[in-house]
Amino acid sequence: MKLTILFGGASFEHEISIVSAITLKEKLGNFDITFIFCDSDHTFYLIEPEKMKALTFSKGEHKKMPRLTVDQGGFVQKNMFSKTEYNNVVLNLIHGSDGEDGTIAALLDFYSIKYIGPRVDACTFSYDKRYTKYLCDAIGVKSVKYEVMHKDEHCNIQTPYPIIIKPASLGSSIGVSIVKEESELDYALDVAFEFDDTVLIEPFLEGVKEYNLAGYFAKGEMHYSIAEEPHKEEFLDFEKKYMDFSRSEQVLKAQLSEEMVLRLRTNFDKVYRNLFEGALIRCDFFVLNDEVLLNEINPIPGSMANYLFEDFATAIEDLAQSLPHAKRPKVTYDYIHSISQAKGK
């Protein structure tokens, strides 16, 4: 299968995107892959497959490679007397802003480029954790209780300690802190506000079980990965998650009853349906006192959560063949013509 992997972006998760792309190069070794790197200045570069190494980007070697522009249906490499088009299905692998906030989705939609990834409306409800909470309320999925605090509107926190402070629009545990007592609060808020003007405050749940489940819609039905119980310490920080994103070997299935697996899938289905078609997403759930709570939606999970699927390559192939098609209205200019005729022009 031919596939274009788009990665990089102007994001705090820029490096994670590079790690994900390198991992998928290995995982999808039988694919004919075109690698397109979006630099932090939004310049697109065509990356030679053999140059798909972390040092290529950290040393700036990618800047010597061909630049691409965007045109109807795909990316284009323009030479003096010719041009080469890259119009394969694009896998949006840009984590964080640009990739998950809807910017790239809007660009690809605008140029009628087929892509695997969340559409603009799906990005809205998954990139900002506040809107994820609103989505949960609307579709009947339970989530962890929360408070919202804005940078210029500090208020008294009602949630009992210990608490978790999260930037509203970042993943990979960037800017996240566990605050066990009030004396630690100001520092944690300063850290979070370095990354976002809005933060979420949630209770730190003791004795909670966490399960990750990925899935996608293709060929008329939902397809689910195994459910994983991630091995975690008290808190999985950015550095640990960074290494975690390079995983390519399938993980072990969590020891869960069929009834609990069904409950996780039912909640996943509520989140996914009529919003995330065209994307492979991962939902992270908490189970506390036998109650299932959505913790987070990962609209572009690290390395596309390949490690949760028995046959990840087939999953990508099936998804690429089941992408939603945006309908464009046909422009006829009938209205302008009728007015011109009425005026005798």
Q: Do the domain assignments include residue 330?
A: no
Shared domain check, 156 and 137? no
Q: Do the domain assignments include residue 184?
A: yes
Report the distance separating Cα 22 and Cα 311, nearest Å: 18
Residue 238 pLDDT: 47
Shared domain check, 269 and 130? yes
Shared domain check, 107 and 70? yes
Count: domains in the chain: 3
Residue 233 pLDDT: 58
CATH for 52: 3.40.50.20
Shared domain check, 246 and 186? no
Q: Do the domain assignments include residue 255?
A: yes
Q: Is the entire prediction scored with pTM above 0.85?
A: yes
Shared domain check, 98 and 22? yes
Shared domain check, 240 and 134? yes
Question: Range of 26's domain?
Answer: 2-117
Q: Do the domain assignments include residue 9?
A: yes
Residue 171 pLDDT: 64
CATH for 221: 3.30.470.20
Shared domain check, 187 and 86? no
Q: Which residues of the chain have pLDDT under 70?
A: 171-172, 232-248, 344-345
